[in-house]
Structure 1
């Protein structure tokens, strides 16, 4: 599996494939901020809107391709822009296609984001995920600490309000 960090040009070039991945994981029930069915045009527009944040250095996006060259997964780091929070970043949109799950890709993408954060001087990562989702197993097994849960935080793809669990992890040497 080839994992690469996207430039703005790479994001534009891969936007349609990323949109397809986003629509596929939402259709599979992943709670990543969208309701099902996700219109392909909406998914494409969402990815294209990330270009300004990538260009400004506020967002880092990695893309994983399988042996056949198909986009199999992605993860992003949202970097803080306030002076008092530049030591932290949020892991966002960790997504793996259904047929790629259970093979270590999610862990590899998460590790890539963690390593890049530490290399950039970031010492604290955080994320949220739907409570009781399969993603929680990944985060716990990767030594992320549970900070707590918030009830009725976001609607799942079917529109049902679900709780979210907050996690954090210290990285680097700060």
Structure 2
């Protein structure tokens, strides 16, 4: 899908999601656990057991195999997954034009190298391929990701104080954002 120096972003096919679920879940769990241990509020609390992370990714891969979501990964030239993002396309009948962005994650040792920006550009491309024109996501209010999304053309719809918890149990506000795409 996209490539930069030593990092490429690609879509996990339905067949790959089915046939290689175990190693993919393992590699994606490494990224998720690292992000949660680094303080990312992405639905999980500390400590995050590997079995729980793997179960989450198995569910995501099953959804990708059923074409309910698009799973993108960022990999090093050696094939190590260092980042991921999802485009959730299985939405109600009255929202065929919309998709949700979920779990945009980059391993801490791969940050500040443009990986997240590449993932977001790739998810825009995937959304257009899927015929989606309205994208929605939520993120921690005031965090690095919020600034990243704004640089990528996302607009703030609103914020909710104390909406979620950080992995350590502290409350955090959540910013809801949207992006309008031209197909």
Query: TM-score higher than 0.5 here?
Result: yes
The alignment covers a number of residue pairs equal to 173
Residue aligning to 2:47: 37
SS at 2:175's partner residue? Answer: strand
In terms of mean alpha carbon deviation, does 74-83 or 104-113 score higher?
74-83
Question: Deviation per CA, 1:7-55, whole angstroms, max 9, x where unpaired?
Answer: 3234443110101110000000111110012111110111012233112
Residue aligning to 2:3: none
Among candidates 8, 12, 31, match of residue 6 of structure 1: 12
Q: CA deviation at 1:66?
A: 1.3
Extract unaligned runs of 5+ from structure 2.
Answer: 1-6
Question: Deviation per CA, 1:59-80, whole angstroms, max 9, x where unpaired?
Answer: 1101111133221100001114
Extract unaligned runs of 5+ from structure 1.
Answer: none
- The change in CA–CA distance for 1:10 and 1:110 in structure 2 (over 3 A counts) is farther
Residue aligning to 1:71: 81
SS at 2:123's partner residue? Answer: helix
1:113 and 2:119 aligned = no
Q: Distance in 1 between matches of 2:91 and 2:101?
A: 15
Among candidates 5, 25, 29, match of residue 19 of structure 1: 29
Give the TM-score normalised by structure 1.
0.94
Residue aligning to 1:135: 145
In terms of mean alpha carbon deviation, does 99-108 or 2-11 score higher?
2-11
Q: What do you get for the CA RMSD once the two structures are aligned?
A: 1.2
Q: Distance in 1 between matches of 2:61 and 2:78?
A: 26
Tell me which stretches of 4 or more aligned residues in structure 1 moved more than 3 Å: 10-13
1:37-116 map, 5 Å: 37-116=47-126
Residue aligning to 1:151: 161
